A and B are shown apart, each in its own frame.
With several copies, the nearest count.
Chain A
Amino acid sequence: MSMIEMKQVYKKFGDNEVLKDISLSIPAHQVVAVIGPSGSGKSTFLRCINGLETITEGSISVNGHEIHANTSPKALKKEIHAIRQETGMVFQQFNLYPHKTVAENVMEALLVVKKMSNEPAYQIASSLLAKVGLAEKENAYPSQLSGGQQQRVAIARALAMEPKLMLFDEPTSALDPELVGEVLKVMKSLAEDGMTMVIVTHEMKFAEEVADRILFMADGFIVEDAEPQAFFKNPQTERAQKFLQKVSEF
């Protein structure tokens, strides 16, 4: 069964058509990298998957939970809630809760959404923080961490809900170049563990190495959908060629 199934998805903001006729299927355990110029709709694509944006036309199904453009608000709420339970998301700006410690950030959804009690939630948080290499930062506040550390906490926070799908929106582009590596390393190990992942990124080398599949977006369309090797060596469209050339210019 495929993890994500999109059929003729359109998304408008007012008159501005941002996603156009998106249809695709992403099987479980696949790692998909989404690349493309700024404003092409990459973030919107990602945010439609977990319902942070509602689609204007078409349908999306995530692990069997299906949203149509015309689903009733009540049913929509239920489906989106179900999808979010099984989906983790990591943002460019980390978005850690500044008023909570690192451990509390990871525990929060467990306490509130899963209604766990403190002790088991802490156990989970603790082991996830160890996994991302931050065991000793449990009691720090986000403001006391470097960007790379913050982003790793954000990943641990998303993993706490045991998602079947992880969405990443430019998770390294707010980081100092030297710190990018530590976050990519964590993501790579997730990929190796078989997590289904959709990653919007500008790190071409990472995409080439880690992804099973590249989606190249431009102007709201998915212009190319190919294996990394094929895409980077031999982009089919002029738009993609121009993009790859610009990005590698210096």
Chain B
Amino acid sequence: MQIVIENLPFLLRGAYYTLLITVVSMFFGLIIGLLTAIARIRGNRVLRSIARGYVSIIRGTPPLVQIVIVYYGLVDYGIEFGPLTAAYIALSINIGAYVSEAFRGAIESVPKGQVEAALATGMTERQAMRRIIVPQAVRYAIPPLGNTFVGMLKETSLVSVIAVTELMRSAELLISQYYVYMPFYLAIAAMYWMMSTMFTFALHRVEKRLSVY
């Protein structure tokens, strides 16, 4: 316990990176995911195949490999990022695939009559999508997005492979210093749990507010 308290600032710094990477990747992942979902539902054949391939490959392969490829693999093509940037890019692309599935499900659960009503008043498909479908889908999408976000919180630990000291890695550094692991593991478990609980709670409130209607 004592050692945990002594090293709290160090752990908190790790938690900060974990949160930072999660939030930034989630932000871009949301954009990528929404576009992908729309491409899959409304896109032409080519777009649909690309979107499907993207989702299948990203969800089917380990994020660690994706991170390594973005950070190290792209160097051969003259594309080089700093570790944090690489983490954002790799994880945004990763999250995007999951987000797109969440949005796709959500968009498909908006009753078909809603598009038809919009089309019947003269809106184009694109206008109906933007004004009528997506705003409703966002609400349906919140629970699965919450899952994705909470999952990502823990998945960020993979970026330690590219020299970002997030929460998990902080604990490992301390463990190898003190040769005891349980207090540190319990401490970071508690921190992860607090972060996800806080987040879940916040999301719950957003969901409540969105369901005034």
Contact = CB atoms under 8 A, between A and B. Distances in A.
Q: Do A and B come from one complex?
A: yes
Interface residues of B, number: 20
Contacts of B213: 98-100, 141-143
Nearest to A110: B121
B122 A99 contact: no
A186 B127 CA distance: 29
Given A91-B113, A93-B113, A112-B131, A99 B119 contact: no
Contact of A91 (B116, B127, B136, B212): B116
* Residue among A109, A142, A158 with most chain B CB within 10 A: A109
Interface in B100-157: 111, 113-114, 116-124, 127, 131-132, 135-136, 139
A109 B121 contact: yes
A87 B127 contact: no
Contacts of B136: 97-99
17 contacts: A50-B120, A81-B122, A88-B120, A93-B111, A95-B116, A96-B117, A98-B136, A108-B118, A108-B121, A109-B118, A112-B123, A113-B123, A113-B127, A143-B213, A154-B117, A157-B117, A161-B122
Interface of B, helix, strand, loop or mixed by DSSP: helix
Given A89-B120, A99-B139, 7 more contacts: A88-B120, A89-B117, A91-B117, A95-B117, A96-B117, A97-B117, A108-B132
B163 to A, nearest CB: 44
B124 A81 contact: yes
B121 A52 contact: no
Contacts of A142: 213
A103 B132 CA distance: 15
Contact of B121 (A88, A93, A100, A141): A88
Interface of B: 111, 113-114, 116-124, 127, 131-132, 135-136, 139, 212-213
Which 3 A-B residue pairings sit nearest by Cβ, starting from the closest? A109-B121, A95-B117, A95-B113
Contact of A113 (B111, B116, B121, B139): B121
Nearest to B110: A98
A81 B126 CA distance: 13
B114 A97 contact: yes
Contact of A99 (B120, B123, B127, B135): B135
Contacts of A160: 121
A84 B111 contact: no
Interface string A5-37: 000000000000000000000000000000000
* Residue among A50, A81, A97, A158 with most chain B CB within 10 A: A97
Contacts of B114: 95, 97
A158 B131 contact: no
B122 to A, nearest CB: 4
Contacts of B122: 81, 84-85, 109, 113, 161
A158 B120 contact: yes
Contact of A141 (B132, B139, B212): B212
